[in-house]
């Protein structure tokens, strides 16, 4: 009986991991890994793609606030399954290569399906799975597993794209690349559909219904006022905003590989995929280190790593003749970005925020913390298009350096405040 329960528990977290990243593959992962190809086949530039992300972010911003009560009313499995299926339908439409206007509408639709219907339900399901004693383990598995899932999707996409490109990539026509990438989108959308079915029929646990009936809390102004009285909450807003901007910057590494390192489309896509494989490794290692020390300390170290590598990328030190420096800088940047990302909300205990106010605190922090979904894409796209090639990349990494410095200051302030509270 114990083995059966353990196997069922493992299957549930695996489903949560698969669903947790599959829902974001179509809006984000494909564009991150295949950015040069994505821009070519849709005949858009970086600024236009950034504006699509902005539409997504604007819809998501509202969805963060109102998605929570929905997750309390309906079972997570149903909401997540519907969200996955609708997101996949959007993917099938993406494969038709819609116009720029329709692409904006599609990204707004995805902002609704992935956040309003999915995000709170996934967080709730994960918290239920973790119970009272294994919250760190639950969210550690979730984030690390999502990174691995994204990497596997990326590898499959690169494999499919290379299979359907029958000749040397440099000699292929735009039409051939469009057909190959269309197959990548269709296969990815089909897999997301399949995961939706798995979630609907198999993401079941007695604890869901029991917790769902007892966990509903009224979203009151009093709770918001209590949360806003914590200085740590405001610092966490800044920390997450800066760290999430850094995470959005990982979208440009495949384009950097093509524009500056002079890689072809397939090789540059592989750079983005390798970066994804680093996420689960870094997440698990940093999580273990944070448990033995302090989560806030590793966030400080993460921002320091981001600052140093951003400054390196903002110079002309990295070019097609310095491959080892390019690889090393990406690794250090990834360590910094993923360290901060994994430990986003692991600092709530350090801040002494009551468990009863966790949902209100996370929702309030997220509204500001995830605003890079709105402005990061257009800013990055503008500077890349305004100064094509290496110069544009130096400009965006200089912005990244400034953001990293702000994050470093905020995280150090948070570390000092939490040190006094825990003394």
pLDDT at 95: 94
Q: State yes or no: pLDDT of 154 exceeds 60.
A: yes
Range in 30-34, 61-65, 213-217 the model is least confident about: 213-217
Tell me the pLDDT tens digit for each residue of 385-395.
888 888 898 99
Mean pLDDT of all residues in 309-323: 87
Mean pLDDT of all residues in 134-163: 78
Mean pLDDT of all residues in 11-38: 88
d(CA 253, CA 7): 38
Q: 122 vs 100, 196, 363, 370, CA distance in Å?
A: 31, 13, 14, 17
Tell me the pLDDT tens digit for each residue of 109-130.
999 999 888 887 787 777 677 6
- Of 76-85, 156-165, 223-232, the range with the highest mean pLDDT is 76-85
Place of tokens 């020390």: 293
Mean pLDDT of all residues in 133-138: 60
Q: Can you read off the two tokens belonging to residue 357? A: 């106010």
Domains of the chain: 7-209 (1.20.1250.20), 221-423 (1.20.1250.20)
pLDDT at 169: 62
d(CA 244, CA 371): 9
pLDDT at 421: 67
pLDDT band (50, 70, 90) for residue 410:
very high
> Who's near 354: CB < 8 A, 6+ residues apart?
none
pLDDT at 134: 59
Task: Let me know: does 314 contact 306? Beta carbons within 8 Å.
Answer: no
Angle between helices 76-94 and 2-24 (to 10 degrees): 40
pLDDT at 83: 95
pLDDT at 7: 61
d(CA 169, CA 139): 40
pLDDT band (50, 70, 90) for residue 183:
very high
Q: Euclidean distance between the first and final Cα of the chain, in Å?
A: 44
pLDDT at 308: 95
Task: Let me know: does 360 contact 68? Beta carbons within 8 Å.
Answer: no
pLDDT at 217: 47
pLDDT at 1: 46
Q: Rounded to the nearest 5°, which phi and psi values hold at 293?
A: -125, -110
- Mean pLDDT for all residues in the chain: 82
pLDDT at 96: 93
Task: Let me know: does 13 contact 127? Beta carbons within 8 Å.
Answer: no
> Who's near 30: CB < 8 A, 6+ residues apart?
38, 157, 184, 185, 188
Q: State yes or no: pLDDT of 420 exceeds 80.
A: no
- How many C-beta atoms surround the C-beta of residue 322 within 10 A? 15
Q: State yes or no: pLDDT of 9 exceeds 70.
A: yes
pLDDT > 70 in the chain, percent: 85
Range in 73-77, 160-164, 341-345, 353-357 the model is least confident about: 353-357
- How many C-beta atoms surround the C-beta of residue 311 within 10 A? 16
Q: State yes or no: pLDDT of 2 exceeds 60.
A: no
pLDDT band (50, 70, 90) for residue 170:
low
Tell me the pLDDT tens digit for each residue of 191-215.
999 999 999 998 875 444 444 444 4
Mean pLDDT of all residues in 165-194: 84
pLDDT band (50, 70, 90) for residue 175:
confident
Q: 199 vs 3, 193, 205, CA distance in Å?
A: 22, 10, 12
- Of 48-52, 229-233, 244-248, 398-402, the range with the highest mean pLDDT is 398-402
Tell me the pLDDT tens digit for each residue of 267-296.
887 787 777 778 788 877 877 777 777 788
Q: Which long-range contacts (CB under 8 A, 24 or more apart) does 367-371 make?
A: 367/61, 367/64, 367/65, 368/237, 368/240, 368/241, 369/236, 369/237, 369/239, 369/240, 369/241, 369/244, 369/344, 370/57, 370/60, 370/61, 370/64, 370/240, 370/241, 370/244, 371/57, 371/61, 371/241
> Who's near 80: CB < 8 A, 6+ residues apart?
19, 23, 117, 118, 121, 122, 125, 196, 199, 203
pLDDT at 378: 84
Q: State yes or no: pLDDT of 398 exceeds 90.
A: yes
Place of tokens 């006094």: 420
pTM of the model: 0.75
Cα 115 off chain centre by: 12
Task: Let me know: does 97 contact 191? Beta carbons within 8 Å.
Answer: no
Task: Let me know: does 242 contact 405? Beta carbons within 8 Å.
Answer: no
């Amino acid at each position: 009986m114990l083995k059966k329960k353990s196997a069922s528990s493992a299957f549930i977290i695996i489903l949560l991991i698969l669903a947790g990243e599959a829902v974001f593959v179509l809006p984000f992962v494909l564009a991150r890994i295949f950015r040069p190809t994505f821009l070519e086949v849709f005949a858009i530039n970086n600024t236009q793609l950034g504006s699509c992300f902005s539409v997504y972010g604007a819809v998501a911003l509202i969805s963060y606030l109102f998605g929570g009560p929905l997750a309390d009313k309906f079972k997570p499995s149903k909401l997540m399954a519907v969200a996955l299926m609708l997101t996949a339908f959007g993917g099938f439409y993406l494969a038709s290569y819609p116009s720029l206007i329709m692409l904006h509408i599609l990204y707004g639709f995805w902002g609704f399906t992935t956040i309003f219907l999915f995000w709170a339900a996934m967080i709730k399901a994960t918290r239920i799975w973790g119970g009272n004693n294994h919250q760190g383990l639950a969210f550690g598995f979730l984030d690390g597993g999502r990174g691995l899932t994204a990497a596997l999707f990326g590898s499959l996409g690169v494999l499919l794209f290379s299979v359907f490109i029958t000749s040397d990539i440099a000699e292929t026509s735009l039409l051939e690349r469009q057909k190959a990438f269309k197959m990548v989108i269709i296969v990815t959308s089909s897999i997301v559909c399949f995961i939706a079915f798995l979630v609907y029929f198999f993401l079941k646990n007695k604890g869901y219904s029991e917790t769902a009936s007892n966990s509903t809390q009224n979203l009151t102004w009093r709770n918001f006022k209590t949360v806003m009285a914590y200085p740590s909450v405001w610092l966490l807003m800044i920390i997450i905003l800066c760290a999430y901007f850094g995470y959005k910057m990982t979208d440009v590494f495949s384009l950097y590989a093509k524009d500056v390192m002079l890689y072809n489309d397939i090789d540059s896509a592989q750079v983005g995929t390798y970066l994804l494989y680093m996420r689960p490794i870094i997440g698990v290692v940093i999580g273990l280190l944070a448990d033995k020390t302090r989560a806030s300390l590793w966030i400080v170290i993460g921002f320091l790593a981001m600052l140093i590598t951003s400054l390196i990328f903002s110079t002309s030190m990295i070019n097609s003749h310095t491959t080892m420096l390019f690889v090393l800088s990406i690794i250090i940047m990834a360590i910094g970005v993923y360290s901060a990302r994994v430990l986003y909300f692991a600092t709530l205990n350090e801040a002494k925020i009551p468990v009863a106010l966790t949902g209100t605190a996370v929702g309030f922090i997220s509204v500001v913390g995830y605003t890079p979904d709105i402005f990061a894409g257009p800013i990055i796209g503008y500077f890349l298009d305004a100064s094509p090639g290496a110069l544009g990349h130096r400009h965006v990494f200089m912005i990244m350096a400034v953001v990293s410095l702000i994050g470093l200051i905020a995280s150090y302030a948070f570390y000092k405040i939490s040190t006094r509270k825990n003394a």
